[in-house]
Amino acid sequence: MPKKPPGGKGRADLIRSITTPLGFFVLALLIVEVTLGIVLSKSRLPEQYVWPGFLWMVGIFIGVVVVVVGLTIFSPKNLLYGKEEYLSPPLDPSALNDAVEDLIITNVKAECLKNSPL
């Protein structure tokens, strides 16, 4: 079974799946936490630097949770809006028919609208 090349379709799908600010918060937190975790665990830093780094990870996590909870309390709509919020609402077909009929009545001469014998 062939392996997927790194950075291929999986990353693009992940980026495309972020459609709301809440999703962005989750992705940003994931990136920061994983980066700090890798740096703190794989580097050969002295213990005096590892513990403050770990506390920074905890602090960033708590900070993002506080920001999201604050947004949830004070403006929950801002967490969940997506691209659909910017699109115009779809027209009702009957409203479109009415608009076409109004255009025909105002722009076409009455004698042109009469049935002509074939």
Residue 51's identity, in one-letter code, is: W
Contact 78, 21 (CB under 8 A): yes
Q: Round to whole Å and give the CA distance between 19 and 26.
A: 11
The predicted model scores a pTM of: 0.51
Domain ranges across the chain: 9-87
Cα distances from 55 to residues 21, 59, 72, 95, in angstroms, run 26, 6, 25, 59
Structure tokens at 17: 């799946």
Give whichever of 9-18, 20-29, 32-41, 93-102 has the largest mean pLDDT.
32-41
| pLDDT of 3 strictly over 60 | no
Mean model confidence pLDDT for the chain: 76
Cα distances from 34 to residues 26, 51, 83, 105, 118, in angstroms, run 12, 16, 28, 65, 78
